[in-house]
Homo-oligomer: A and B are copies of this chain.
Amino acid sequence: MSDKLTLSIDAMGGDDAPSMVIDGLKLAIEKDDTLRFILHGDEAQLVALLADKPALKDRCEIRHTDVAIPAEMKAPQAVRQGKKSSMWQAILSVRAKEAEGVVSAGNTGALMALSKMILKTLPGIHRPAIIALLPTESGLVVMLDLGGNTECTARNLVEFAVMGEVYARSIFNIEKPSVALLNIGSEDMKGREEIREAAAVIKDSQLALDFRGFVEGHDIGKGGVDVIVTDGFTGNVALKTVEGTAKLMSFFLKKAFRSTLLSRLGYLFAYGPLKKVKKMMDPRLYNGAMFIGLNGISVKSHGGTDALGFSVAVKQAATLARKNVLTHIRDEITHINGMLQDAPEQE
């Protein structure tokens, strides 16, 4: 594989931390043994967990702290009081360039606030966004913003489009990912003002984006474009609606296969295919949302995930670092800043 790569890990974040985190890292190095980790958390617990994992132990450096940000703590409180926490310290390792990215399964609001405060926003970017992958009929789609910003201007959406394109290029390894804006109709005159304005800006500014105009809710699962851009409110609702509907269908499937003796028999024969479908919709395999637009890679793992899910988030952080996503975003934004000067600014 490639050169060594060090990631900073908030070992105390997540429902089953730190054991889930350590198990996740073990899985991660089984697939990529060039990874190195700086673990921020309770030393005694971490040493005990690493005791029977020599290969992982050799690749970890422990930085002790006995403070962890609780799951229910509000972001402003985390900013005021979280300085000694494993999360804060883990992000600091990125700013200090000891690590090329941070992964945490802890409190989302706190991670976002601390990442923004410590790493700062990239020059030219007005608002960072939450970006992640979702399953579609034709592979995966990159979607942002999934909850970072409840309201967005046209300028924000254009920046998201640029960042989403760079992210997709790195993750999918394709030359020219296609980008679309989420709307409630495909005609130019449909939808909210800021979306129509963003579409006009992208078209007029002759950005080198393969811009496909508007897509709708059903296109999220259909695929067809590589990147879907939306505001953080709509994106968050859409993401959770995908998860909810997948759960609903699993619920219906279970119920139907349990309904009669014959259907229970059917389940035995259908077991393989059903398991395959479950795997294709398995949120663990898409785990890891990046706060994109910051001076550093900060990846949020789902708090309730297991070792497999955490290892996927770790892998994602590593890929994004290796592909120099931040450098590419910096270049693109510098490149477009002139074109966008007429677009509305904020902050």
Chain A interface residues toward B at CB < 8 A: 135-137, 147, 150-151, 182, 184, 191-192, 216-222, 230, 232-234, 236-249, 251-253, 256-257, 259-260, 262-263, 265-274, 276-277, 280-281
Could you tell me if B150 and A191 are in contact, using CB atoms closer than 8 angstroms?
A: yes
* A244/B272 contact (C-beta < 8 A), A236-B184, A252-B277 known: no
* A182/B219 contact (C-beta < 8 A), A256-B273, A272-B262, A277-B256 known: no
**Distance between Cα atoms of A311 and B266 in the complex (Å):** 33
CB-nearest residue of chain B relative to A217? B240
CB-nearest residue of chain B relative to A223? B248
| Chain B residues whose C-beta falls within 8 Å of the C-beta of A239 in the assembled complex | 217
Could you tell me if A244 and B218 are in contact, using CB atoms closer than 8 angstroms?
A: yes
Which residue of B137, B251, B266, B272 contacts A137 across the interface (Cβ within 8 Å)?
A: B251
A-B contact pairs, 28 of them (CB 8 A): A135-B248, A150-B184, A150-B191, A184-B233, A184-B240, A191-B233, A216-B237, A217-B237, A217-B241, A222-B248, A233-B234, A234-B234, A234-B237, A237-B237, A241-B245, A249-B249, A249-B281, A253-B273, A256-B273, A256-B276, A256-B280, A260-B272, A262-B269, A263-B270, A263-B272, A265-B269, A266-B269, A270-B270
